Structures are given as structure tokens and as C-alpha cells.
Structure 1
Amino acid sequence: MANIVFDLDGTLIDSAPDIHGIANRLLEQEGAPPISLEQARDFIGNGASVFVERMRQARGLSDDMHDRLLADFIASYDTAVNLTVLYPGVVDALAILKAKGARLGVCTNKPLRATRAVLAHFGLDVTFDAVLGGDSLPTHKPDPAPLLATFDALGPGPRVYVGDSDVDAETARRAGIPFLLFTEGYRKSPVAELPHSATFSSFDQLVPLIQSVLEPAS
């Protein structure tokens, strides 16, 4: 069928409650007030280091604390799965795509160990043929290199990227790959401002949408 690569946080999973919990435990240890769940969602997307930077800045914590807070954040990430949920319809959509012969990948700015841990938690570790995290390469999204590397690992064939955010849209644009925007995730900009081939709000729309995007290439 095709090679389909997915973003993770805000696309396949809603992990913000777990990430919010990690952040507020770290802030409590520093005697700083908590951030809101909405703030946590807004800080997600550019990787763990940027999340910690935004968290620090929101609470006035100094730059010289960054490395220590980041190390503590990453150390907590692997087991932060209990409040994370799959978006409705994800499992069925992935199963249909696999049955149709699609090769599936994940390209995320989440650290690789944490990525593999949450995929295993949901039994999806065997679903994906290639998985790249935010620390798999020297660069991360919106640099197109991780996305292109994920597709290269899947092999030849038509390519479609599925994500939810401004970062994902820019990554796809730079890579020159059709982008399907999941509108219920963590994006910060209006849909109309993000480059995309099509949008969807429910995963039961995804398979026919992918087929329609691929029709010109068939």
C-alpha cells in the first residue's frame, strides 16, 4: 500500500497528563508552583529539553538548573504511562493499514527509550517497522532528517506523514511529504495556518483519507 509514518504525542497518544505529572513533581522538589495541564500540552512538541526549558521559564527557574532538571525529567519518562491514553480508533486504524500491506513507522521528538516504553505499554511495539525518537539523530523535528530517515528505514514506496502539530506540519513541508493533520492533538496554530494535504478529527476517517491522498500516486 504505502509507507505511513506517525508522530506520537498528540497524534496516537494523549500523554499530556503523564508529562504534566512529571513536570509538577520536579517543580515541587524545587519549591516552585505547578504548571497547568494546558500549559503542559502547550510545552509539548519540540522534545524533552525544550519542554524543560519552557517549564523553567514559566516558573522563573534559572538556566543553570536545566541539565539537572532535564536528567530528572528523562529518568521519569520511561515509566510515565499510567495516565496516557490512546486516541479512540487508533488500534483499529493501525490494524487495517497493516492488513492492507502498509509499512508503519513512528517519528517523534520524545526520547527513544520513552517512546519504546509507551508503545510496549499499549502492545504496539510490534506494530511499527521503524521507530525514531528525538535523540535517535543529532537533529530532531522540524528538521526533516529524522522523518526522512524513518521513511528510508521502511523502504521504497509512496509516503504519507500523520501528525498533529505545528512542528509536524513544518517537518512534512521541509521533507516534501504529504501531511495528514489530526486536529484533536496539541497544535498551537489554527488549522488554516498549517500546511497540510488533508485533516481528520477521528481515526475512523484515516484509512480512506490515506487512500484518497495516495490515489494520484497510484
Structure 2
Amino acid sequence: MNSIPFDIVGFDLDGTLIDTSGDLAAAVNHAIGTIGRDPFPAADIHPFVGKGARVMLQRALDASGGYDDAMLSALLPILLDHYAQNLAIYSTPYPGAVQALDALAARGVRIALCTNKAERFTIPLMQQIGLHDRFASIVSGDTVGVSKPDPAPIRAMIERAGGGRAIFVGDTINDIAGARNAGIANIAVGFGFLDGPVEQLQADAVIAHFDELVPLLERWPG
């Protein structure tokens, strides 16, 4: 008997399942390097990540000497093209993530993905890190025409994964609010691309490591 009271466990991608900060940082540094600005250490770029490529680039330009709209518009495609060609150089699953996916699969739970990342990046990245075929559904930021916190992508994720009771795991307010808007339970991770204390997300539960996920789900009220 399945000891977890959910049919589907959905995950966000960047900052939740996969630490993509290294490759995002490399793309930022490549873009700003084309206008002669010095590269940031990867750790310094980490706070820029989490609200999409445009905001990430805005934050980097602001921190390195400022920008105008023309500069932003010129550099964004440079960043995105570089990133598309270098998706999985440094990106790796967070500690315990793959083991958690294995444990969920062993219990007969379907796993699904809902990310605001565009399909042109999401699908190749998942294939390159070897996780694509584990997921019952993958919904990207442009799959259904809107992105989280709109509930439509999470609802599409659930429907495409076969339906049933679902819970969503994420690291930003877009994830937690999106799950809440879709009417499902949610869990925040404390190790992602956070803008502030994880408690500010007001998730139903918080984990600090993926080792905590399956035990938490097993204790979840049925």
C-alpha cells in the first residue's frame, strides 16, 4: 500500500530540484563581458537568480555599473544564446534529490515538473542531466501561455501526469503561491534561490534537505 497520501509530487526546477546557478552565472558573465565588465564570482550572482533571465541580467548590470533599456535589450539574447549552448556544465541535482525521486517512484508516486523556465531550456537540460524520462509530465513557463503563480501550469502538470491528489515543492513565492492558487498543498525548500527567509513564503511545510521529503510526505495527513 502506498504510504504517501499523494498520487503526484510536483517539483519546480531551478533552485528546487537542480542547482543551475553555476551555468546561469556563466551566461551572465559572458553577456556582461561583451561590454567590458568584469565577471562576478558565481556566489555573488546567486542573489540575482530566481526571477527569470531578464531580472537576473538587470540585477547584474545594476551591480556592475548600471544600464539602460537599450543595453538590456541588446545583452539579453546574448545571455540566452550562451545559456542554451551551455545548460549543464555546472548544473547538478541538489543533494538527496535523485534519491528522493527514486524513493517516490518505489512507492508508486508519479513525479512531475512545473517550471517558469522556457521549454527551449527545460527539455534539453532535463535530458542532459539524465532526469527527463523520470517525469510523468513536464510543464515549462511557455507551455500553456502563462507561468506561475498563475495556477494554470500546475493544473496542466497534474492533468498531464494522469490526475489525482498532488503536492508541489518549490523555492520561491511563484511556486508556493502557484500551488496555493491551484488548490494543492505545498512544500518550500530552504536551499534554493530565496529572496529572504524561507518562512516568508508561508508554505505548508519546509525542508532543509531532500532527505526530509519522503518522511514528511509519509507523515502528511491523508
TM over 0.5: yes
Task: Tell me, in whole angstroms, the C-alpha distance in 2 between the residues paired with 1:108 and 1:43.
Answer: 18
Is the contact made by 1:48 and 1:110 (CA closer than 8 Å) also made in structure 2? Answer: no
Root-mean-square deviation (CA, aligned residues, Å) is: 1.9
Is the contact made by 1:170 and 1:195 (CA closer than 8 Å) also made in structure 2? Answer: no
Is the contact made by 1:165 and 1:186 (CA closer than 8 Å) also made in structure 2? Answer: yes
Equivalent position SS for 1:155: coil
Q: Which residue of 1 aligns with 2:82?
A: 76
Query: What's the CA shift string for 1:23-52, capped at 9, x where partnerless?
Result: 011101012233443442222222223323
Query: What's the CA shift string for 1:97-148, capped at 9, x where partnerless?
Result: 1121212111112221211222112210100111122222332222222222
Task: Tell me, in whole angstroms, the C-alpha distance in 2 between the residues paired with 1:54 and 1:138.
Answer: 26
Q: Which residue of 2 aligns with 1:62?
A: 68
Equivalent position SS for 1:104: strand
Is the contact made by 2:88 and 2:129 (CA closer than 8 Å) also made in structure 1? Answer: no
Task: Tell me, in whole angstroms, the C-alpha distance in 2 between the residues paired with 1:137 and 1:174.
Answer: 16
Match of 1:33 among 6, 21, 38: 38
Match of 2:137 among 121, 125, 130: 130
Match of 1:181 among 155, 179, 188: 188
Q: Which residue of 2 aligns with 1:47?
A: 52
The change in CA–CA distance for 1:134 and 1:70 in structure 2 (over 3 A counts) is: farther
Report matched runs for 1:101-112 at 5 Å.
101-112=108-119
* 72-81 vs 23-32, greater mean Cα deviation: 72-81
Q: Which residue of 2 aligns with 1:190?
A: 197
Count, aligned residues: 215
Q: Which residue of 2 aligns with 1:209?
A: 216
Residue 53 of structure 1 deviates from its aligned partner by 3.1
Is the contact made by 2:27 and 2:79 (CA closer than 8 Å) also made in structure 1? Answer: yes
Is the contact made by 1:47 and 1:111 (CA closer than 8 Å) also made in structure 2? Answer: no
Residue 161 of structure 1 deviates from its aligned partner by 0.1
Is the contact made by 1:166 and 1:189 (CA closer than 8 Å) also made in structure 2? Answer: no
Aligned AA (1:44): V
Q: Which residue of 2 aligns with 1:150?
A: 157
Q: Alignment identity in percent?
A: 35
Aligned AA (1:94): L
Is the contact made by 1:16 and 1:84 (CA closer than 8 Å) also made in structure 2? Answer: yes
Aligned AA (1:69): L
* Structure 2 residues without counterparts, runs of 5 or longer: 1-5
TM-score, normalization: structure 1? 0.89
